[in-house]
Amino acid sequence: MDTGSISFILICTALVCLMTPALAFFYGGLGRRKNVINTMMMSIIPLSISSLMWVIVGYSLSFGGDDTILGNFSHLFLNDVSFSETTRNLDIPDLLFAAFHWLLLVYYPFAHMVWDEGLLAQWGTIDFAGGDVIHITSGVSGLVLAIVVGNRKDYDHIEYRPHNVPVVLLGAGLLWFGWFEFNAGSALSANPLAIHALMTTHISAASAMASWLLIEKIIASKFSLVGGATGLIAGLVAITPGAGFVSIWSSLLIGLLVSPICYFSIHTIKTRFKIDDSLDAFGCHGIGGIFGGLITAVFTKPDLALNKEYIGLIYGDFSLLLVTIIAIIFTILWSAIVSYVLIKIIATFTELRVTEREDGLMSNKPSVISLILICFLNNSTSVKSVSPGRNAVDELAATA
């Protein structure tokens, strides 16, 4: 065991956990004031549920056995997962490896298919810290849920704006900080690869923020703090699959390119097709993750540590890009189909939204779907804000 690496991953594990309240601040500030408690609660509750699921069955299904789609049940309740030994040729014990990945809230099948010995790993796809496993799956699932649940009743009549921009900035800043551990910790050792991943993460985020602000200046003639924060997140998402695989100059280019792509998706595609993706889960995470996976296959540098058998397109090999395209299509289809089937099953037992009266009363009661599939999208319903001096029921009646 390498005690330095153990200390490093312990710190990364703790700091990645900070990303959960950071998301609560970021999304809470982006939403409307009447929904802020519900929105922030929906970022915190899954931490408890996913923690228990990961210990009970998640780790075993992700990293147990060598089946193509899912692992086995050999490590239920972290059975036979040692705190002092490793079976993965790492410098850290298996139990610490499990704890780190649990905090990343990975989804079991893709964690197994990409990061263990599953189907996508056998195809030859690469994903350093979760562009495919986390961002594409959650972004696509969020899009499906937004379409199935439908738009808020006043979606076409009100221009929604963030209710608390400083809170958005606080959340974005904490996410930026947590993302260093998110990506650098994925090296699973205190080594030069972790340093490299941290640097590419920072450069991509910084260049994406600058690129987004420049786009806003050209199109809207002014900068916005929310735009800068959104560009920052887009850059972090895009570099996630390739943080340890691409060069520093490539990470700068990735950040510069991802912002116009996500900006177009959020401000054009969503509007044209009237999709009420209230927190831009697909535009930022889905599109950013897809772009990040593709661009990683273009810029993967063969002489980087742990990655010598993979060669990016600019270094003369098309095969990695081809495999990546196939893997992304597979991920999109899997995520969309499973999410659609799941939400339809849930809809047979309960309403997907809170009632219109509860909505008008500014209720912080979350819908069932928001609690079950919270990681994908916050699609809280809302109506016109209550006017001073009038109660919510009067206001709701006036808008009927």
pLDDT tens string 306-361: 656 789 999 999 999 999 999 999 999 998 988 888 888 778 877 777 666 665 55
Of the ranges 92-101, 212-221, 371-380, the best mean pLDDT one = 212-221
More confident of the two residues 107 and 241: 241
In whole angstroms, what is the distance from residue 147 CA to residue 276 CA? 8
Q: What is the pLDDT of residue 375?
A: 46
- Stated pTM of the model: 0.83
Q: Which long-range contacts (CB under 8 A, 24 or more apart) does 223-228 make?
A: 225/165, 225/168, 225/169, 226/30, 226/162, 226/165, 226/168
Each residue's pLDDT tens digit, 362-384: 555 555 444 444 444 333 333 33
One-letter amino acid at 170 equals: L
Averaged confidence pLDDT in the chain: 80
Is the Cα dihedral 141, 112, 105, 206 positive or negative?
Answer: negative
Query: Where along the chain do its domains lie?
Result: 3-399
Which CATH class, in words, describes the domain spanning 3-399? mainly alpha
One-letter amino acid at 206 equals: A
Contact call for residues 143 and 363 (beta carbons, < 8 A):
no
Confidence class of residue 152 from pLDDT cuts 50, 70 and 90? confident
Over residues 289-317, the mean pLDDT reads 88
The CA-based angle 182-187-191, given to 5 degrees, is 120
